[in-house]
Amino acid sequence: MMRQYELVERVLKYDPKADEALLNRAYVYAMKAHGTQKRASGAPYFSHPLEVAAILTDLKLDDATIATALLHDVIEDTDATRTEIDQLFGSEIGTLVDGLTKIKRLDLVSKKAEQAENFRKLLIAISSDIRVLLVKLADRLHNMRTLEHMKPESRRRNSEETLDIYAPLAGLMGMQALREELEEHAFRWLHPDAYQTVTGKLVELRDRNKGLVEEIRQALARKFSDAGIKAEASGREKKPYAIWSKMEHKQIGLEQLSDLFAFRVIVDTIDDCYRALGIVHTTWGTVPGRFKDYISAPKRNNYQSIHTTVYGPRHQRVELQIRTAAMHRVAEYGIAAHALYKEQRAFQTAVMLNAPKSLAPASAGTAGAHGAVNGAAVTATSTRDADNSPYGRLRVMIGTLLSSENPEEFLEHTKLELFQDQVFCFTPKGRLIALPRGATPLDFAYAVHTTIGNEAVSAYINGRHVPIDTRLRNGDEVTIETSKSHVRPITWEAFAVTGRARAAIRRAAREAEKRRYTELGRQLVMSTVTGSGADYSEEKIRAAAPRFQLKSADDVLCAVGRNDIPLHELMAAVMPSPAAMASGEKYKPSRRFGRAQAQDGWFNIDKVLSLKFRAAEGDTTTAISIRGPNGDLPVLFEPGGAVPGDRIIGVMSPGEGIRIFQIHSPRLNDFEHQGWIDVTWDIDPDNPQRFPARISVTAVNSPGTLAEIAKTIGESGGNIDNVRMVRRAADFTVITIELEVFDLVHLNHIVAGLRAQATVAKVERLFE
């Protein structure tokens, strides 16, 4: 176990101005507080916070962070209190320790809803000071290093939590070395068989390619030396977890992976990076599609490097990463390679800039006397800098807390954002947009602005019109066409990759659905009130809302549209029958919709039953107007379909809206005792829609018959949605065709065209 003076010396070695007294006090206090407590391994418990502090000294963190590491378990596991920590070590360290205590109490591998809510709390806890996350990552790393002493269930839970949450968070912060070690430990315990297989294969490959890494390193060194470039080249095998992940992702075996060796070339300047790249590419053949320039377009966690893959010595595929020493520090230590973490105010400026006020910490805390950055560094922090830094990524993630309708959506969004690699695309004006790999123009539209995503209609990639679900590639220039009147299908959610796009699509779909049901409820009430000779008043509906445990008139109308509140019950509450008013009878809501109850109120079902005959006569005085599947009302057509020109009847269907029946449909009899709705067509000539219809065609069973039928329908402007063939005899086949037409005239034109065909014996319309 590290001694007190050894820890202090490690900190003073990289920060001579560190508060030595603070470190000594924290060491002694934590050691006494944990006393005789033991870990599962039997070692003194104090050895754990001491090892956590040692990990953070390797990252060269400030004295306050090291003190926090020593104290991070005292509130949770000893008799120490937050007040006592504040008094002895100051409110800054007290806040950090308290944040870590709250994180420790979270269960991040519980059932999905609880896990999502706890994940919210985790991100809010670390949002107040990035050092909370740094200490937590070091704490998790030491726990994973000693996981063999835990019970199997604890190993599984900790490993799942590490792979799902902490390793990706380390990656988000750019701490690649720490992320890789966390992944290795979790991989070992979660997938022991796969771990043993991969590591065993690596041993075999290492023996087979003995000396290859050194041979390649020396070849690189000679080439750079001859060109006068000061460069340090080092090689290594890829980590087992990275290899296994690639095998899982690409569904290939280990033997098929030919780029198992990665080399880093560290040079002095950015100019040297590109000179070194030129030497590599002119010496060895390149592997197509394996070049990435993260210097000109850094990753979201500020990672910068040039990646390329070449066929090196022995014709072995070799991956090269070329970067400067400063870039290498960022690649290895991420956020810990920056000085901003030492100044609380700078962190608040960088992370919480433009963040929702509800998420701002109650108290910012004060910076320690040592390691503070100068005022210029704080002043220079801008919105652009924050958004392009790991702080900015964390801020954006926390900002999604308020835009998610439920915890599961938030969890999906954050996990997608944490795990995905990137693709870089451009707007027509040259703005760079970074997206997860596999993203589509729809994700691009939402990344530019939510309004553009909501109004997206189609996309152009590099000037070529493409489907909205086309996968984007690096360097694509994307143009989004928008329309304010566009009704985006909910199925577009399947095209989206980013959590932001998915959440926005769901939210817009919910809002659109609510508007449609509200409008349906309004139409139903207005139609019924008008038919009774009364005046429509939303004020009365608003006054009745509390009776249904709702807040507004729109909520009530939406519930009526969904059939959650039967129309007659609302009318009984808003306009009770004269008999009920005279008797003083109080309103009693009922979810049953029967003839007797309807007759008790002014909403008389006998009147509704007459709608069929009124529709046949064309009486549309109080009818509800519909415009089809894409109109303002939720409309569902029965399998037989109906088209403008048909006489139609509507039937309320809970959760679906209005089911539309052609007046001759035999299925209407099944709904004789249910509330029918008087509906009529309201066709917009400037926005024609197609409507479903079904026909039966009896045709000669010969080659080319189906093609002739399809050609006739297509030339007439019809759209075939489905075809089903039933062989009736050796010479004839009955074909059921579901098609879409504009109106009854259009349908009759198609039917006449089919009857004129020599191969067609009979055509009739189906209503079932």
pLDDT tens digits for range 416-464: 455 556 677 888 887 878 788 789 999 999 989 888 988 888 899 988 9
- Cα–Cα dist 455/458, whole Å: 10
- Residue 153 in any domain: the answer is yes
Alpha carbon of residue 285 to chain centroid: 39
Q: Are 478 and 425 in contact (CB under 8 A)?
A: yes
**CB count, 10 Å around CB of 727?**
9
Q: Look up the CATH number of the domain holding residue 243.
A: 3.30.460.10
Residue-level pLDDT at 737: 93
Q: Look up the CATH number of the domain holding residue 729.
A: 3.30.70.260
**272 and 131 within one domain:** no
Domain boundary among 134, 163, 190: 190
Alpha carbon of residue 551 to chain centroid: 31
Residue 616 has pLDDT above 70, yes or no: no
pLDDT digits (tens, 9 = 90+) for 549-569: 888 888 888 888 877 887 778
Domain coverage including residue 83 = 4-190
Which of the residue ranges 255-264, 719-728, 753-762 would you say has the lowest mean pLDDT? 255-264
Mapping DSSP onto H, E and C, the string for 595-619 reads: HHHHHHCCCCHHHHHCHHHHHHCCC
Domain boundary among 334, 367, 400: 334
The most confident of the ranges 55-64, 296-305, 499-508, 515-524 is 55-64
- Residue 210 in any domain: the answer is yes
Rounded to a whole number of angstroms, the CA Rg of the chain reads: 35
Residue 303 has pLDDT above 50, yes or no: yes
Residue-level pLDDT at 302: 77
From the list 49, 60, 48, 58, the residue with the least C-alpha distance to 15 is 60
Q: Are 645 and 662 in contact (CB under 8 A)?
A: no
Which of the residue ranges 122-126, 351-355, 762-766 would you say has the lowest mean pLDDT? 351-355
Residue 370 burial by Cβ neighbours in a 10 Å radius (0-12, 13-18, 19+): middle
**186 and 221 within one domain:** no
pLDDT tier at 661, thresholds 50, 70, 90 = confident
Residue-level pLDDT at 214: 83
Q: Which two tokens stand for residue 351?
A: 């992370």
Q: Which two tokens stand for residue 149?
A: 């002493």
Residue 729 has pLDDT above 80, yes or no: no
Residue-level pLDDT at 29: 94
Residue 108 has pLDDT above 70, yes or no: no
Please give the average per-residue pLDDT across 493-517, as a whole number. 82
| Positions marked catalytic | 76-77
- Cα–Cα dist 299/667, whole Å: 60
**727 and 659 within one domain:** no
**311 and 290 within one domain:** yes
- Residue 380 in any domain: the answer is no
**Cα→Cα distances 32→11, 55, 64, 78, 735, Å:** 22, 21, 19, 10, 87
Residue-level pLDDT at 20: 93
Which residues are 464's β-sheet partners?
Answer: 461
Domain boundary among 641, 663, 681: 681
Residue 139 has pLDDT above 90, yes or no: yes
Residue 331 has pLDDT above 70, yes or no: yes
Helices (H), 310-406: 325-333, 344-352, 375-380, 383-387, 390-399
**What is the identity of the amino acid at 649?**
I
Please give the average per-residue pLDDT across 114-127, as a whole number. 65
- Cα–Cα dist 226/203, whole Å: 34
Average pLDDT, the chain: 77
**746 and 661 within one domain:** no
**526 and 658 within one domain:** yes
Residue-level pLDDT at 766: 87
**305 and 177 within one domain:** no
pLDDT tier at 115, thresholds 50, 70, 90 = low
**CB count, 10 Å around CB of 558?**
23
Residue 397 has pLDDT above 60, yes or no: no
Left, alpha or beta for 618 (phi > 0: left; psi -120 to 50: alpha)?
left
**723 and 651 within one domain:** no
From the list 206, 163, 155, 169, the residue with the least C-alpha distance to 182 is 163
Residue 507 has pLDDT above 70, yes or no: yes
Sign of the CA dihedral running 89, 91, 93, 94? positive
The most confident of the ranges 436-445, 514-523, 638-647 is 436-445
pLDDT tier at 269, thresholds 50, 70, 90 = very high
pLDDT tier at 652, thresholds 50, 70, 90 = confident
- Cα–Cα dist 478/472, whole Å: 9
User: To 5 degrees, how large is the angle CA 94–CA 100–CA 102?
Assistant: 105
Q: Which two tokens stand for residue 656?
A: 């679906």
- Cα–Cα dist 629/691, whole Å: 8
From the list 55, 169, 33, the residue with the least C-alpha distance to 103 is 169
- Cα–Cα dist 466/570, whole Å: 49
pLDDT tier at 138, thresholds 50, 70, 90 = very high
Residue-level pLDDT at 371: 32
From the list 422, 443, 567, the residue with the least C-alpha distance to 498 is 443
**601 and 515 within one domain:** yes
Choice between 231 and 668, residue whose per-residue pLDDT is larger: 231
Residue 187 has pLDDT above 90, yes or no: yes
**289 and 172 within one domain:** no
Residue 141 has pLDDT above 80, yes or no: yes
- Residue 80 in any domain: the answer is yes
Alpha carbon distance, N-terminus to C-terminus of the chain: 82
Residue-level pLDDT at 251: 65
Residue-level pLDDT at 351: 36
> What are the backbone angles phi and psi of residue 681, rounded to the nearest 5°?
-80, 140
Residue-level pLDDT at 160: 87
How many domains is the chain built from?
A: 4
Which residues are 286's β-sheet partners?
Answer: 310
- Residue 433 in any domain: the answer is no
pTM: 0.54
DSSP notation for 678-728:
-EEE---TTS---EEEEEEEEEE-STTHHHHHHHHHHHTT-EEEEEEEEE-
Residue 394 has pLDDT above 70, yes or no: no
pLDDT digits (tens, 9 = 90+) for 475-491: 788 999 988 776 666 67
Which of the residue ranges 66-75, 371-380, 528-537 would you say has the lowest mean pLDDT? 371-380
Residue-level pLDDT at 343: 39
> What are the backbone angles phi and psi of residue 724, rounded to the nearest 5°?
-135, 125
pLDDT digits (tens, 9 = 90+) for 574-600: 776 554 444 444 434 433 333 333 333
Please give the average per-residue pLDDT across 597-625, as a whole number. 47
Residue-level pLDDT at 565: 83
Give the dihedral of Cα atoms 203, 204, 210, 213; nearest 10 deg. Answer: -60
- Residue 389 in any domain: the answer is no
**81 and 22 within one domain:** yes
Q: Are 263 and 321 in contact (CB under 8 A)?
A: yes
Q: Look up the CATH number of the domain holding residue 121.
A: 1.10.3210.10
Residue 648 has pLDDT above 90, yes or no: no
- Residue 176 in any domain: the answer is yes
**612 and 665 within one domain:** yes
- Residue 317 in any domain: the answer is yes
